[in-house]
Structure 1
Amino acid sequence: MSIYDLLPGDIVHLAIGDQVPADGLFVSGFSVLIDESSLTGESEPVMVNAENPFMLSGTKLQDGSCKMMVTTVGMRTQWGKLMATLSEGGDDETPLQVKLNGVATIIGKIGLFFAIVTFAVLVQKMLGRKLLEGTHWSWSGDDALEMLEYFAVAVTIVVVAVPEGLPLAVTLSLAFAMKKMMNEKALVRHLAACETMGSATTICSDKTGTLTTNHMTVVKSCICMNIKEVSKAVVVNKEGKLEILGTPTETALLEFGLSLGGDFQAERNASKLVKVEPFNSTKKRMGVVLELPEGGLRAHCKGASEIILAACDKAINSNGEVVPLDEASINHLKATIDQFASEALRTLCIAYMELDNGFSADNPIPVSGYTCIGIVGDNINTAKAIARECGILTDEGIAIEGPDFREKSLEELHELIPKIQVMARSSPLDKHTLVKHLRTTFGEVVAVTGDGTNDAPALHEADIGLAMGIAGTEVAKESADVIILDDNFSTIVTVAKWGRSVYVNIQKFVQFQLTVNVVALIVNFSSACLTGEKTCVL
């Protein structure tokens, strides 16, 4: 049936690969993994079960199957609210336009003042002359013509005061900057965005896919008791690009193995898979049993370091020999785990054990007696760790989580927002709320950078939105003012520099133009007031 026919209370059957059609609650099912990247931007799948039953429209089932009870449909769903924010608000004036309008208003008032004074002085002189001649009661056509000429002088002063070349200068400066920024890998979608970035006082950046590559990698390993930094080699297949499917953690480990010279297909073809126990949050481990080419069975397992290490009684030393796991080795491995964790790395322990030939697929995989191969650390990509590494989070700043942020009252937000430097686990509407408060309450000129659909509301709300051109979604690009074609955050600095350059150029032109106009105004006013002559300087 069509998703447009769904109503709250309906039960929907979902299987792997299906898109969740509405917001709902998990009723029953098994091994349900949900890809929420379209809403949250995070690539790590979320396990849905009775403890975490919430399912959101627009997300996809990455694994498992289930029944879901529909609770919300249409524009009331989280996806609907997300899309609704993209149609809010209109085109606000840029900071430069606001300032230029202010300058134009002041110039207009000054010009009008001098025009009125000049007209009054000239008329007073004419009346004084007629009074001396005794003809002030009689008016001729020549007198009316002279009065009209005085009015023309007043109008001329108003015209002289206004810098008529300013709109053209602004447009030319913006167009020049737009072309230069294109050469610097920044595509400007709206001309006014060229200068807005130069006026930005706050930059709100998405983390996943913008500050980070949204790709887990093994960056440190402790294999056979030796700690090594991992410099990732480029591994390509015959088509020129390697694509590994699976969860981010599995992908990172496979890439690590390939970078060490392993042959994944050869290993898989040589061994027969006997049993698989998938990872679950209770055991915090997963295991497989393989039938080796030379005969015999071997169990491999990986999982949380403290769990797997506790299941090991042997280890491989630096000479590649299997030795009993003594206290010194255990302390060394635990210290390694702590060291990796302090560097914002999530650690996984890898181990194996030889099994008796009597093992069958019906038997559970053993939970002890393993030989420790080593420990690997992959990027956990926690917001605070990344922010500290980038120099964003300081000792004075505040890191807050989205659920806490959205529960704060308006008064608390006014106190918190100036200090917030990191907002973790934030929803699209949390980002939108933060940007809106920064703009309206605190008068900041806000730039937002992002790549996902979840960033679109904030990109739309910001004074200037910058979307990633390669990794960015179409929704994000449509909501942005500038597209960073090379996905390089440093390009944003270039955009800011060109924005400030535009601002300085226009400032200099206004200075030059007003100098000419002020001189013309003073000469014209002085000539009219001192000599009574109708002199015009253009």
Structure 2
Amino acid sequence: MEQKHHYTGLTDAQVLESRSKHGANILTPPEKEPLWKQFLEKFGDPLIIILLIAGVLSIGISCYEFWGLHEGAETFFEPVGIFVAILLATGIAFIFELKADKQFSVLNQVNDDEMVEVIRNGNTTSIKKKDVVVGDIVVLNTGEEIPADGELLEAVTLNVDESSLTGEPICHKTIHEQEFDKDATFPSNHVMRGTKVMEGHGIFKVLAVGDKTENGKVFEAAQIDDSVRTPLNEQLDGLADLITKLSYIFAALIIVLKLMVFFNWSPIVLTLAVPTAIFFWMVIKKFDDWSWKAVVPSIIGYFVILMGMVVYFHDTLMPGEQIAKLITYTLDTLMIAVTLVVVAVPEGLPMAVTLSLAYSMTRMMKTNNLVRKMHACETMGATTVICTDKTGTLTQNQMQVYDTNFYGLSAQSLGNDKDSLLIEEGIAVNSTASLDYSDAEAVKVLGNPTEGALLLWLKKAGVDYLNLRESAEVLEELPFSTERKYMATIVKSSLFEGKTILYVKGAPEIVSGLCKNIENNVSKTDIENQLVEYQNQAMRTLGFAYQIIDSKADVFKDGKVVADNLTFMGVVAISDPVRLDVPAAVAECMNAGINVKIVTGDTPGTAKE
């Protein structure tokens, strides 16, 4: 790469000082909780909580049956089974999420280990992206990802894809103040970490690294909020609440009815039923908020009231010797009620949910979709609205020539006539893009995708653009700028006996305004109507012009074309075709009841097309 200046960069001592002061070029991941705490978080699932309660109650029942009723050790199978189910469900979820987290860490590490070309100690060298520090001089080339935020020292036809930050696929970067885009999100002489060089080359000085970069700020703002509950969490909460309330209601009915049988339907049952009903109402009410500090005193209060009522009434309604029988009978009744509560809990449900989510997580991993939290798999299935980007997501992000309207071109087919040769050479030399033929089946565009579409059009017509470009001698060039909205190149043509020819390409309205002549005397009204038709179809349009120059003609002045005999050749409409699998994917979403929204900076008409 040619350098206009000699840069020495940082010394080794300055690198260490800068890293100590400003930190490393790494995005700080969110602070992770210890593994034991991550594992315990799995017990926060509502069904797991119910199983834990059921397990504790089941242990109480088993102990009563084993020591009180002298039954066998098989009475402990029930609580053991419950706790095995709990450990399996929580363990599987913990292991799968831990595995996914490690894969995310590997991806981040690979990105940080990419090599970057920098100038240090007066020499050009390659270092890892994470080793870049504030003050480094970084060399940029086409196709490379920018490793940090910085200010440009040099920029030659430099265009950057800032879609990851601003949504703009092409942003022109320059060090010349007169070419700055005042409407740009970031200054035209600044480049940002995480964006990509689409065309040209340059050199910049690093001003910010790691978390201090714009990319780092976005990364921090986009951290996952684990407090957000998925639809499955909410549904399981509702199911747990329903199971609990129903089990308590039936348990209360069992207690009341059993006591009615014991007292032979005596009026005392009604007296005992009142505190029983109040107690279970309080439990159900407090259970909504999981306020066990209120539930436990309620249980104690219930038994105090119950026993107080029994003592109060035993002289008048009950013989004293029946009190012991009543207490034993009540305990047996409570054990039956607790057993009902335990049986009502579906021990297999948490396991079934966990295995289902684990299977979904595995399937998504096989298609290169990493899921950090297991419950997010179910959230994908509960989607009702999808907001999607347009460029590169719905479209291929590969511009293609949709239609041509060269006024001197018969049937819009290239041949050996003068107009065809002018078009071929004009497209080939007045361009900064190129084609990558490393894969003959899938030729890639390097550089500006719009200009690349024109080269692909030449290739389809059997024209070797590279041969034309290398055969012509470029005498002077005026690069594209947002202010001019066109680019121009003066060449010594190899197709027209060494004549000097000016080729201009850019916005049709601007280029046609520079022209004195129009091929085949097409009226400007016809041109305007054609442009409106293309633009209503969301096409990007380019206009082309040429002029054969004599040695005395003024061509460029103050960064503008001043040639006075330009001929407007015609217009090309360029489209970004929709990805082949998009129509079927959108149709499938809509058939499933999912609304698809396009989020784009384009006009509604363009987005609709």
The code of the aligned residue for 1:167 comes to P
The answer as to 2:514 corresponding to 1:311 is yes
How far apart, CA to CA, are the structure 2 residues paired with 1:119 and 1:204?
55
The code of the aligned residue for 1:159 comes to V
Give the SS at the match of 2:169.
coil
Which residue of 230, 236, 244 corresponds with 1:108? Answer: 244
The code of the aligned residue for 1:47 comes to K
Which residue of 482, 492, 507 corresponds with 1:281? Answer: 482
Give the SS at the match of 1:310.
helix
The answer as to 2:468 corresponding to 1:333 is no
Instruction: Give the conservation status (yes or no) of the 8 Å contact 1:285–1:302.
Output: yes
Work out the percentage of aligned pairs sharing the same amino acid: 28
Residue 498 and residue 361 in structure 1: after superposition, are their counterparts in 2 closer, same or farther (change >3 A)?
Answer: closer
The answer as to 2:427 corresponding to 1:244 is no
| Count, aligned residues | 383
The code of the aligned residue for 1:57 comes to M
How far apart, CA to CA, are the structure 2 residues paired with 1:140 and 1:362?
114
Give the SS at the match of 1:288.
strand
The answer as to 2:299 corresponding to 1:96 is no
Give per-residue Cα distances to partners, 1:133-163, cap 9 Å, x unaligned.
9973115876655443322221122234334
* Within-5 A mapping of 1:134-145: 136-139=319-322, 145=328
Instruction: Give the conservation status (yes or no) of the 8 Å contact 1:303–1:349.
Output: yes
How far apart, CA to CA, are the structure 2 residues paired with 1:206 and 1:215?
15
The code of the aligned residue for 2:546 comes to Y
Which residue of 388, 407, 414 corresponds with 1:224? Answer: 407
Task: Report what 1:201 is aligned to.
Answer: 384
* Within-5 A mapping of 1:406-425: none
Give the SS at the match of 1:287.
strand
What are structure 1's unaligned runs of at least 5 residues? 317-322, 391-470, 472-485, 501-538
How far apart, CA to CA, are the structure 1 residues paired with 2:158 and 2:331?
86
Give the SS at the match of 2:387.
strand
Compare the two structures and name the one with the higher helix fraction: 2
Task: Report what 2:165 is aligned to.
Answer: 39
Task: Report what 2:45 is aligned to.
Answer: none
- Shift of the alpha carbon at 1:265? 2.5
How far apart, CA to CA, are the structure 2 residues paired with 1:6 and 1:260?
57
Between 1:279-288 and 1:491-500, the stretch displaced more is 491-500
How far apart, CA to CA, are the structure 1 residues paired with 2:584 and 2:224?
30
Task: Report what 1:535 is aligned to.
Answer: none
Instruction: Give the conservation status (yes or no) of the 8 Å contact 1:289–1:300.
Output: yes
Task: Report what 2:504 is aligned to.
Answer: 301
Between 1:131-140 and 1:106-115, the stretch displaced more is 131-140
The answer as to 2:285 corresponding to 1:159 is no
Task: Report what 2:126 is aligned to.
Answer: none
- Shift of the alpha carbon at 1:335? 1.6
Give the SS at the match of 1:279.
coil
- Shift of the alpha carbon at 1:292? 2.7
* Within-5 A mapping of 1:10-49: 16-17=140-141, 23=149, 33-48=159-174, 49=176
* Within-5 A mapping of 1:438-477: none
How far apart, CA to CA, are the structure 2 residues paired with 1:266 and 1:331?
37
Instruction: Give the conservation status (yes or no) of the 8 Å contact 2:150–2:206.
Output: yes
Residue 128 and residue 114 in structure 1: after superposition, are their counterparts in 2 closer, same or farther (change >3 A)?
Answer: same
* Within-5 A mapping of 1:263-278: 263-278=464-479
The code of the aligned residue for 2:573 comes to G
Between 1:164-173 and 1:210-219, the stretch displaced more is 164-173
Which residue of 15, 19, 22 corresponds with 1:4? Answer: 19
The answer as to 2:559 corresponding to 1:356 is no
How far apart, CA to CA, are the structure 1 residues paired with 2:239 and 2:544?
68
- What is the TM-score with the length of structure 1 in the denominator? 0.58
The code of the aligned residue for 1:39 comes to L
Task: Report what 1:148 is aligned to.
Answer: 331
How far apart, CA to CA, are the structure 2 residues paired with 1:489 and 1:105?
42
* Within-5 A mapping of 1:72-83: 74-83=210-219
Residue 172 and residue 111 in structure 1: after superposition, are their counterparts in 2 closer, same or farther (change >3 A)?
Answer: same
Compare the two structures and name the one with the higher strand fraction: 1
- Shift of the alpha carbon at 1:7? 6.5
Task: Report what 1:527 is aligned to.
Answer: none
Give per-residue Cα distances to partners, 1:198-249, cap 9 Å, x unaligned.
322332222232122222222222122679999xxx9966643323322122
The code of the aligned residue for 1:4 comes to R
Task: Report what 1:454 is aligned to.
Answer: none
* Within-5 A mapping of 1:118-137: 118-128=254-264, 136-137=319-320
The answer as to 2:494 corresponding to 1:368 is no
Give the SS at the match of 2:251.
helix
How far apart, CA to CA, are the structure 1 residues paired with 2:317 and 2:483?
111
Larger Rg: 2
The code of the aligned residue for 2:341 comes to V
Which residue of 206, 220, 232 corresponds with 1:84? Answer: 220
Residue 236 and residue 301 in structure 1: after superposition, are their counterparts in 2 closer, same or farther (change >3 A)?
Answer: same
Task: Point out which structure has higher relative CO (alpha carbons under 8 A, 6+ apart).
Answer: 1
Instruction: Give the conservation status (yes or no) of the 8 Å contact 1:223–1:375.
Output: yes
The code of the aligned residue for 2:168 comes to E
How far apart, CA to CA, are the structure 2 residues paired with 1:267 and 1:75?
47
- Shift of the alpha carbon at 1:353? 2.2
Give the SS at the match of 2:527.
helix
How far apart, CA to CA, are the structure 2 residues paired with 1:235 and 1:315?
35
Residue 499 and residue 46 in structure 1: after superposition, are their counterparts in 2 closer, same or farther (change >3 A)?
Answer: same
- Shift of the alpha carbon at 1:301? 1.4
Instruction: Give the conservation status (yes or no) of the 8 Å contact 2:148–2:206.
Output: no
Give per-residue Cα distances to partners, 1:316-367, cap 9 Å, x unaligned.
4xxxxxx4x3xx5332222212221222222211122223367899999652
How far apart, CA to CA, are the structure 2 residues paired with 1:169 and 1:21?
45
Residue 228 and residue 63 in structure 1: after superposition, are their counterparts in 2 closer, same or farther (change >3 A)?
Answer: same
Between 1:355-364 and 1:243-252, the stretch displaced more is 355-364
- Shift of the alpha carbon at 1:108? 0.6
Residue 263 and residue 43 in structure 1: after superposition, are their counterparts in 2 closer, same or farther (change >3 A)?
Answer: same
Residue 21 and residue 242 in structure 1: after superposition, are their counterparts in 2 closer, same or farther (change >3 A)?
Answer: closer
Task: Report what 1:211 is aligned to.
Answer: 394
Give the SS at the match of 1:210.
coil
Instruction: Give the conservation status (yes or no) of the 8 Å contact 1:275–1:361.
Output: no
Instruction: Give the conservation status (yes or no) of the 8 Å contact 1:94–1:196.
Output: yes
Instruction: Give the conservation status (yes or no) of the 8 Å contact 1:197–1:499.
Output: no
Task: Report what 1:456 is aligned to.
Answer: none
Between 1:237-246 and 1:277-286, the stretch displaced more is 237-246
What are structure 2's unaligned runs of at least 5 residues? 1-9, 24-133, 182-186, 267-313, 414-434, 595-609
Give the SS at the match of 1:197.
helix
Residue 86 and residue 100 in structure 1: after superposition, are their counterparts in 2 closer, same or farther (change >3 A)?
Answer: same
